[in-house]
Amino acid sequence: MRLSDDWLKAPATRAVMRMLEEAGHQALFVGGCVRNAALGAEVSDLDIATDAPPERVIQLAEQAGLKPIPTGIDHGTVTVISDHIPHEITTFRRDEETDGRHAVVAFSDDIAEDAARRDFTMNALYARSDGEILDPLGSGLADLQARHLRFVGVPEDRIREDYLRILRFFRFTAWYGAPENGPDAEGLAACATLAEGIDGLARERIGAEMRKLLAAPDPAPVLATMARSGILTRILPEADPKALPILIHLEDGLPPDPLRRLACLTPGPATASLRLSRAEAKRLARLREAAQEIGSATEMGYRLGAGDGRDAWLIRSALLEMPVAPDWAAQITHGAAQVFPVSAKDLLPQVQGKALGEKLAELETRWIGSGFTLDRAQLLD
């Protein structure tokens, strides 16, 4: 199989490949760019594998007038900037030691050794600069075409090298697996058996993987499997994926939003579990609280704005297993456009202190209850 995507022919990328090849080194696209291109999906990151040591990559890049950045030189990775486009170049490697979180690697000149240390067969595909795909394991291309996400070699061995691969197994299954087939049985069994390893992972790494999983077109089946296998509760103890398929159905073409889906998945704040930022935690709590407490679509739009109002209304409908009205979006938009006609200065100096806030809240409730029809004079009368 040969790729023919435009990014292969981009002058900036050809310059990077040429700098390695003309010096007598192998230069092979690898991983996500090959996988996605073979599937006809969008390619965002350009990863290149080579037999050139990282110091040699830096030397060649400088000689070619490109900008090398030693982003992970201990693990053989140098990012080379060509015409403002980053190309992550990593020397062929083999694992010397692993502890489930970090690996000590040795550089190699053997593509087969490099492929054998990768996580999944569909990620162990390489492509030459002319687009010809190489499959050192002999199974990666067939698995990709069958949309069968499978560990390289023995699943338990791959997981013990890095327990984050448990979450990557579910994330990649959600993105690239065939939904009708479900997760690979052998891989799923290994993930369930070694699930305790998740407890030792940094929360930042777990949070990053969960965001990517929740951003998949339809992560609901995979999250249900994670719940049944006991893996989801290790990450989010209060999580219940029951309402998630309903939310995804109601989204109806909306871009995936991990926080919207997370608010539907768990009543907890998830801040510590996933290392959410302060802004993310605040929005998550706001969505969940509004979904549980606000009764009308117009009020939802008024209190949260059009975007979050829409999201909270969808979450509410999913949690209550309630269909949405045909004009729900228009109601949200209408509510978001309203401006409360009374301000604090309208009540001063007659009402002050705590009573001022209480009076404003009372008038606002009356105004919302009227369908936003009462004007300033009527409210103050």
pLDDT digits (tens, 9 = 90+) for 145-186: 999 999 999 999 999 999 999 999 999 999 999 999 999 999
Q: What is the DSSP string of 226-293?
A: HHHTT-HHHH-TT--GGGHHHHHHHHTTPPP-HHHHHHHH-SS--HHHHT--HHHHHHHHHHHHHHHH
**For strand 85-91 and strand 47-50, is the pairing parallel, antiparallel, or unpaired?**
parallel
Contact between residue 68 and residue 80 where contact means Cβ atoms under 8 Å apart: yes
Tokens of 28: 């092979």
pTM of whole model > 0.95?
A: no
Quickly state the pLDDT bin for 271 (edges 50, 70, 90). confident
Quickly state the pLDDT bin for 106 (edges 50, 70, 90). confident
Domains, the chain, ranges and CATH?
1-146 (3.30.460.10), 152-235 (1.10.3090.10), 236-338 (no CATH), 344-380 (no CATH)
Give the residue carrying structure tokens 């978001």: 336
Give the CB-side neighbour count of residue 31, counting CA atoms within 13 A: 17
pLDDT digits (tens, 9 = 90+) for 195-249: 999 999 999 999 999 999 999 999 999 999 999 999 999 999 999 999 999 999 9
Q: Which runs of consecutive H residues, i.e. helices, occur in the chain?
A: 6-9, 11-21, 32-39, 54-63, 111-116, 140-145, 155-161, 164-176, 185-193, 203-214, 220-228, 232-235, 244-251, 258-265, 271-274, 278-293, 297-319, 328-336, 354-369, 376-380
Quickly state the pLDDT bin for 99 (edges 50, 70, 90). low
Q: Which amino acid is at 184?
A: D
Give the residue carrying structure tokens 């339809």: 218
Quickly state the pLDDT bin for 96 (edges 50, 70, 90). low
